[in-house]
Copies of this chain bind each other. A is one copy, B any other.
């Protein structure tokens, strides 16, 4: 097992959270059965376990058993799998279930599943009773390396994704790699897009390590997976520590490839491309844009393409031919990360380092899409 500390300052307006709000991201095998004692030691006497319905039998029950064995009273609530659960209606269903069980500020919330359950449960925990203690138990690769770390919670509106939410840090994260063994291959593979991203934006050495270990990772070797997830979690934790609430702009580096990705996902129709697949294509396009702007050379573009493809992820999108590059650029202009219609991109200037680049021309973006 490896454990990464997320160092966050104490909150003077919420001293009950302790002298600081730092927490551990635990990563390794066999963690599900060890959650009970940790929650109990943190003062949990009652807990609501919110679980993706697809993993209730496999993982949810084990966590609930672990909590009960530690003397904790448990309410188990299932959430239907899929993005539509990040809705006002589903949040309201959870709020009402919490009310019916007389949840109070001493009740802990344990979220088990991927990003959908984590984001939804986190938002409900942030707002019920004006804030409940929260634990994340991510059971997908993308949740273990990305969404479970950093305290962003949220639900979608018809008008856009993640428009409603709160910053709400968990008391801890349990990333049990055993849960990845049963993950469908396409979903497992898509998680590597965000892992590759950390190498490109922050850590050239990690990028090289991924090149050398792709086969072991795809074979789901425990030691290699623990290293990749631990390193990714540490890189995300470091940027969250520096810019928890997206004030300084440092956290924006995490959006590398994402302005393109959001346009691809919207153009394809949500659910057609997995998020990680869209990010992989997006990173390939962003690298081409950086090349066109003279920020990097062609060798780095090719090297990133090779790593993306070695994980079985796409670097180009065949179906994109049915959309014009112009219509994709129009979608990007509506992305919430744009500022006043001008296009902004996170672009590399060397392996392991990116910058936020403002006012990129539409022509350059169209060329990067076509290239």
Q: Residues of A with Cβ closer than 8 Å to B? A: 8-16, 21, 88, 91-92, 95-96, 98-100, 104, 123, 126-131, 152, 154, 157-160, 163-167, 244-245, 247, 336
Contacts and interface: CB of A to CB of B under 8 A. Distances in A.
B336 A159 contact: no
A336 to B, nearest CB: 7
Most interface-central of A160, A164, A165 (chain B CB within 10 A): A164
Contact of A13 (B104, B126, B167): B167
Contacts of A167: 13-14, 130-131
Given A13-B167, A127-B166, A88 B99 contact: no
Contacts of A8: 13
A99 B12 contact: no
Given A12-B12, A13-B167, A128-B163, 13 more contacts: A13-B21, A16-B247, A88-B91, A95-B157, A96-B157, A99-B158, A99-B163, A123-B127, A127-B165, A130-B165, A130-B166, A130-B245, A131-B167
23 contacts: A8-B13, A9-B12, A9-B13, A11-B11, A11-B12, A12-B12, A13-B244, A15-B247, A88-B91, A88-B92, A96-B157, A99-B157, A99-B159, A99-B163, A100-B159, A104-B336, A127-B164, A127-B165, A129-B165, A130-B154, A130-B166, A130-B245, A166-B166
A297 to B, nearest CB: 36
A92 B14 CA distance: 27
A350 to B, nearest CB: 30
Nearest to A15: B247
Contacts of A15: 245, 247
Contacts of A158: 96, 99
A294 B304 CA distance: 79
Nearest to A99: B159
A98 B131 CA distance: 24
A237 to B, nearest CB: 15
A29 to B, nearest CB: 33
